Structure 1
Amino acid sequence: MASDSTRPCFSAFRSQAELELIQVVLDDAEASYPWNPADPSASGYFEQLEQEVAASWSAEVLEPYAQSLSTQFDQLWAAVDAGTPVVTTASILSSSVFQRFANQMPQRVLETLVQRTQEAIASSNALADQLVASVREVLPEWGDEDLYVLARPFAYAMRDQRESDVLEGALRSVRSEAWDNLSNIEQARLSLAIARHVIDQSKV
């Protein structure tokens, strides 16, 4: 059969390939790849590779590959940005939830709180850390240790508890008074509730 007649050729080709592979391995037996790039002895290995590339590839040859790689990165980042909703300060401040806070917190304080919360979100820290970082500037009289205590109910609410329930609970504990007429603890609760709302909105 035709398939049987090709087997000897294939076998010979495979044997030859295996012999060549073994020869390559034996020839490079003394060369070892530095698996830990932080190892000081690895710098010589990488410098040698860079020199070999520089000697073998001219800038004209490398440029098309660099351009292609840069274009691919741009396309990937564009795809990531397109799939990530952008929550702006203006859109948050115009939401129905924030209309309820308008009479209780000065606009300047509210804007500062939202901006600091967005910065805290970008830090990717734990939720409690984000909350404390969010309100620290608008509550300068509070120490971090006390803020962490107040932030616990907002950071560690039950998983099946809706964000709106947490927010409503916080609002019920704050009198419907202007910001300057609220007690320090009411200001803290209101600020933490707003920060938690902004954080949750960023995940929508």
Structure 2
Amino acid sequence: MNNQHSPSQLSLDDASTEVELDFLSTIVLDDNTYPWNPQAPESDSYFDSLEQELPLSNLLSDAEINSTCQNFYRHTDKLWLVIDTQNALHQKFVGLAPHNLLNNLGKIAINIVEQVNRLGSTLSLSDQLVHCVNEVLPGWDLEDLEVMARPLAYSMRGDKNNAVEKTLATIESADWYDLSEVEQVRLSLAIALYAISYCQ
């Protein structure tokens, strides 16, 4: 058996050995070690030196930091609401509608409710339902959607769950793709109603 190494093999071995030695010397000989216990009094000087190297406090004022934090928290709260709403829709309408339709209706419903609350809009519930469904099923005429949304909006004055359950009871097939276009719209309106009432 021949144990001789080719010149390229030797250069690769030498390079990896050099990298390993550099790494080892950095670990062993470097005086700036990370304080594994941030609560220890001697770790304060380490963190102070890091802050001196990158003075973030000079980049933003306190007002800008507070404003940025509030925007961040508002955005994360909205993301959690989107996730909660979509999870609720998936649990309620599992197997009845495609996942992407449920996700889109959830996001649209949250945006509409947020817009109504923020702007003090007088957008009726029927109009909110039409807006939701029009974005996911854009081939429909708005007047037709309004006619189909009115019974759900009026029944919402009572119990929202009852209105959704009544709609679900009138839809015969359980598979989205077996439904007629009218049944798909009715189901989408019921899903939008459930999403709007969930995130209010």
TM norm structure 2:
0.55
Q: CA deviation at 1:115?
A: 1.3
Per-residue displacement from partner, 1:131-158 (whole Å, max 9, x unpaired)?
A: 1110112222211000000110122226
Aligned residues: 133
Alignment match, 2:108: 116
Letter in 2 for 1:171: L
Give matches, 1:107-146, under 5 Å: 107-124=99-116, 125-146=123-144
Alignment match, 2:11: none
Are residue 202 (structure 1) and residue 199 (structure 2) matched?
A: yes
Q: CA deviation at 1:87?
A: 5.9
Among candidates 166, 169, 179, match of residue 166 of structure 2: 169
Contact 2:109 2:195 in 1 (8 A): yes
Per-residue displacement from partner, 1:30-59 (whole Å, max 9, x unpaired)?
A: xxxxxxxxxxxxxxxxxxxxxxxxxxxxxx
Alignment match, 2:82: 89
Letter in 1 for 2:107: Q
- Root-mean-square deviation (CA, aligned residues, Å) is 3.1
* Percent identity between the two aligned chains: 34
Q: CA deviation at 1:102?
A: 2.1
TM norm structure 1:
0.54
Find the aligned partners of 1:115 and 1:85 in 2 and give their Cα distance. Answer: 10
Alignment match, 2:149: 151
Letter in 2 for 1:146: D
Find the aligned partners of 2:130 and 2:184 in 1 and give their Cα distance. Answer: 14
Secondary structure, aligned partner of 2:161:
helix
Find the aligned partners of 1:189 and 1:108 in 2 and give their Cα distance. Answer: 17
Find the aligned partners of 2:173 and 2:155 in 1 and give their Cα distance. Answer: 24
Q: CA deviation at 1:98?
A: 3.3
Secondary structure, aligned partner of 2:107:
helix
Q: CA deviation at 1:104?
A: 1.7
Q: Which has the higher contact order (CA 8 A, sep 6+)?
A: 2
Contact 1:116 1:134 in 2 (8 A): yes
